[in-house]
Amino acid sequence: MTSPPEAAPSAPPPSLPVHDAQGALLSLLFVLTFNTGLVDAISYLLLGHVFVANMTGNVILLGFSLAGVEGFSLPASLTALAVFAIGAAIGGRMGLEGKTPRHRQLARALILECALIALAAAPLLAGLPPQDDFVRYWLIVLLGLAMGVQTATVRLLAVPDMTTTVLTMTLAGLAADSSLAGGNNPRARRRLGAIVLMLAGAAIGALLALRANPALVLMLALVLLVAGGIIAYRGLRSGPVAQD
């Protein structure tokens, strides 16, 4: 009696092409850039002229505070700088675990950022005014931590021209590498997209913060973060990202 032929091993699922994985990651980074505009709109307009994501601007505002310029808060600026640094340290620590696949490192960082943003939104959803001292510093601390984690995580990903929180070098690269400067416009669409998205985030964040409930700004940021995180997680899990 002959034994039945062994079944052929099932083929492994096809991997996502490199360019698709890169596209998934870029989608998330564009979301994070847009969210930076949303979050900094709340922090600057409602929390006493302080940035929780753009630390370059926050250092400038700190200088204004030290000079005694009215309308700027020294404690708020110092708090934002401190908690951003703590968040960046946490994000950097999470990224040092080299044995953990990158998509899982990214997922953990995004889950932490989502939790911080959700907690930040809680008093606003309860109807408490952002001008209240407790609510104000609650938002500065939690949003500053979230932006620090985000910035450190994006730094570890090292995608060119996608820092998600500052645009100075992005704008400089767009101009310096342009045809007018004798360049060949590398990554021009990516650079321009980052600038436009942060601008759009700031505009939409300002409209919602001043004309509606500022909690809507954070809820929008949270929804986009979850959607972008799912796309990036699947892309990074399924295929490598091209280095450019």
pLDDT more than 90, % of the chain: 64
Give the pLDDT confidence of 150-209 residue by residue, as tens digits.
999 999 888 888 999 989 999 999 999 999 898 898 999 999 999 999 999 999 999 999
Domains and CATH numbers, the chain: 18-234 (1.20.1250)
Q: How far apart are CA 137 and CA 88, in angstroms?
A: 19
Query: What does the pLDDT read at residue 3?
Result: 52
CA 236 vs. chain centroid, Å, equals 17
Of 25, 38, 6, 24, nearest to 146 (Cα)? 38
DSSP assignment letter at 181: G
Q: Name the pLDDT band for 18 (thresholds 50, 70, 90).
A: very low
Query: What does the pLDDT read at residue 142?
Result: 98
CA dihedral angle for residue 149, residue 150, residue 152, residue 157, rounded to 10 degrees: 140
**Single-letter amino acid, residue 233:** Y
Query: What does the pLDDT read at residue 10?
Result: 46
Contact assessment for residue 23 and residue 235, using Cβ atoms and an 8 Å cutoff? yes
Task: Kindly report the number of other CB atoms within 10 A of residue 187's CB atom.
Answer: 18
Kindly state the tokens that stand for 65: 């505070």
Query: What does the pLDDT read at residue 196?
Result: 96
Q: Name the pLDDT band for 218 (thresholds 50, 70, 90).
A: very high
Task: Kindly report the number of other CB atoms within 10 A of residue 10's CB atom.
Answer: 6
**Single-letter amino acid, residue 232:** A
Kindly state the tokens that stand for 148: 């620090």
The residue-averaged pLDDT of 107-116 equals 93
Contact assessment for residue 32 and residue 199, using Cβ atoms and an 8 Å cutoff? no
Give the pLDDT confidence of 48-86 residue by residue, as tens digits.
999 999 999 999 999 999 999 999 999 999 999 999 999
Of 149, 182, 186, nearest to 170 (Cα)? 186
pLDDT more than 70, % of the chain: 86
The residue-averaged pLDDT of 121-125 equals 95
Contact assessment for residue 83 and residue 55, using Cβ atoms and an 8 Å cutoff? no
